């Protein structure tokens, strides 16, 4: 596969849309984003505002196509520990 073919596949994958918890997730197979949605729900229930904000930044980064900050990813993945 050439680079142009890989780019078109990557573009096609990011255009898939899945509705999750009432919002649109453009990267349904991204484990960081899926975990962020789950942690966001739990953090909202516990009124954990710093974690809610970190989750939103991770989700926003996925919408803009950028990588989330490493510190936010650590907050998301360490939430249930």
pLDDT at 63: 87
pTM, full prediction:
0.64
Torsion of CA 38, 18, 64, 32, to 10 degrees: 30
Nearest Cα to 39, choosing from 57, 24, 27? Answer: 57
Residue 18 has pLDDT above 90, yes or no: no
Among the listed ranges 1-5, 28-32, 53-57, 59-63, which one has the minimum average pLDDT value? 1-5
Q: Is-contact 66 48, C-beta < 8 A?
A: no
Domain membership of residue 25 as a residue range: 3-78
For residue 7, give Cα distances in angstroms to 4, 50, 78: 5, 36, 33
Report how far residue 74's alpha carbon sits from residue 49's, in angstroms, rounded to the nearest whole number. 16
Each residue's pLDDT tens digit, 34-65:
999 999 999 999 999 999 999 999 999 988 98
Each residue's pLDDT tens digit, 68-79:
999 999 999 999
pLDDT at 28: 55
DSSP code, position 65? T
- The total domain count for the chain is 1
pLDDT at 54: 97
- Token readout for 78 is 């360490």
């Amino acid at each position: 596969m050439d680079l142009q073919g890989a780019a078109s596949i990557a573009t096609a994958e990011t255009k898939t849309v899945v509705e999750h918890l009432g919002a649109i997730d453009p990267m349904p197979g991204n484990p960081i984003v899926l975990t962020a949605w789950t942690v966001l729900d739990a953090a909202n229930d516990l009124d954990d505002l710093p974690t809610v904000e970190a989750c939103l930044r991770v989700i926003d980064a996925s919408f803009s196509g950028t990588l989330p900050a490493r510190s936010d990813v650590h907050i998301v993945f360490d939430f249930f520990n």
